[in-house]
Amino acid sequence: MAEIEKTAEKKKPSKDGLGGTIRVFAEALIIALIVRTFLFQPFEIPSGSLIPTLEIGDYLFVSKYSYGYSRYSFPYGLGPFDGRIWGQMPDQGDIAVFKGPKDNSTDYIKRVIGLPGDTVQLREGRLYINDQLVERTPLPPHETKDFFGNPIQAQRYEETLPNGVKHEIIEIEGDNGSYDNTPKFEVPPGHLFMMGDNRDNSADSRDMQSMGYVPYENLEGKARWIFFSIADGARVWEFWKWPWSIRFNRMFTSIT
């Protein structure tokens, strides 16, 4: 009898076979999906619209819980509900990731400038919110590239928004860029006015054809920390170039 029991014990299926491996990968995938949907999502900066705050090649974490959840919090916008649950309106000055309102699928990242009911206008490069001029302090120039990829020293300023949030901007074309003189925009209920810190090189709410006002529902999360940064034009998989291409001074910094 003891021999029979011993033989049966040897025939028990192993938990470490192909099925076990598949189960481990499935569990890891589910955990990653939960973290990405409800907690933090990594995001790569593909354009220079938020220079000097965010540079091309920055990799950052976006907190998904900051503004509550909508269907756009889920991959491919497949959330099972409309509207927003546990919603919280962003603060003026937040840098937020959202789905573009024209196709509801393309990810954008901009700074929140106008909240529902605010008026926003630019006159000769100066920002007015609710008809009040936003304070702007000159800073040393910022080295960047012009529209043709040539290195330039762009004018840089520190703006102080009405709620006291300070952030830097640059003006590649000075105060005479394409969107440095605009009509007065009145942000409708349930919408936000978003702008880039690179004022002369940002497709944002100032362009009603390409973006316009952003629905509150389209928010995905708030930009929090830069966890990796690699020079513009470098490839992240070329690890043998990392000692020269990684921007170590930008890693593990908070975003304001």
Give 184-220 pLDDT, tens digit per residue.
999 999 999 999 999 999 999 999 999 999 999 999 9
pLDDT of residue 22: 82
CB-based contact 97:106 (threshold 8 Å): no
Q: How far apart are CA 21 and CA 19, in angstroms?
A: 5
Q: How far apart are CA 172 and CA 146, in angstroms?
A: 7
Q: How far apart are CA 70 and CA 18, in angstroms?
A: 37
Neighbours of 192 (CB within 10 A): 27
Assigned fold of 42-254:
Umud Fragment, subunit A (2.10.109)
Q: How far apart are CA 230 and CA 240, in angstroms?
A: 13
Average pLDDT on 84-101 reads 94
Q: Is the pLDDT of residue 24 over 80?
A: no
Q: Is the pLDDT of residue 3 over 80?
A: no
CB-based contact 26:18 (threshold 8 Å): no
- For residues 110 and 242, the model is more confident at 110
pTM for this structure? Answer: 0.85
Residue from 64, 99, 110, 222 carrying the catalytic annotation? 110
Domain ranges of the chain: 42-254
Would you call the peptide bond into 215 cis, given omega within 30 degrees of 0 as the criterion?
Answer: no
DSSP state, residue 71: G
Average pLDDT on 17-35 reads 75
Residue from 49, 70, 202, 205 carrying the catalytic annotation? 49
Q: How far apart are CA 12 and CA 9, in angstroms?
A: 6
CB-based contact 168:95 (threshold 8 Å): no
Q: How many CA atoms lie less than 13 Å away from 177 in the CB half-sphere?
A: 22
pLDDT of residue 18: 75
- Name residue 22's amino acid: I
pLDDT of residue 76: 76
pLDDT of residue 103: 92
Residue 117 pLDDT class (50, 70, 90 cuts): very high
pLDDT of residue 83: 81
Average pLDDT on 97-119 reads 96
Q: Is the pLDDT of residue 6 over 70?
A: no
pLDDT tens, residue by residue, 138-183:
999 999 988 888 899 999 999 999 999 999 999 999 998 889 999 9
In the annotation, is 15 catalytic? no
Q: How far apart are CA 168 and CA 158, in angstroms?
A: 4
Count of residues for the chain?
Answer: 256
In the annotation, is 105 catalytic? no
Neighbours of 173 (CB within 10 A): 17
> 100-103 long-range contacts, Cβ below 8 Å, gap at least 24?
100/211, 100/214, 100/218, 101/211, 101/212, 101/213, 101/214, 101/215, 101/218, 102/210, 102/211, 102/212
> 238-243 long-range contacts, Cβ below 8 Å, gap at least 24?
none
pLDDT tens, residue by residue, 33-67:
776 777 889 999 989 999 999 999 999 999 999 99
Q: How far apart are CA 240 and CA 236, in angstroms?
A: 10
Residue 4 pLDDT class (50, 70, 90 cuts): very low
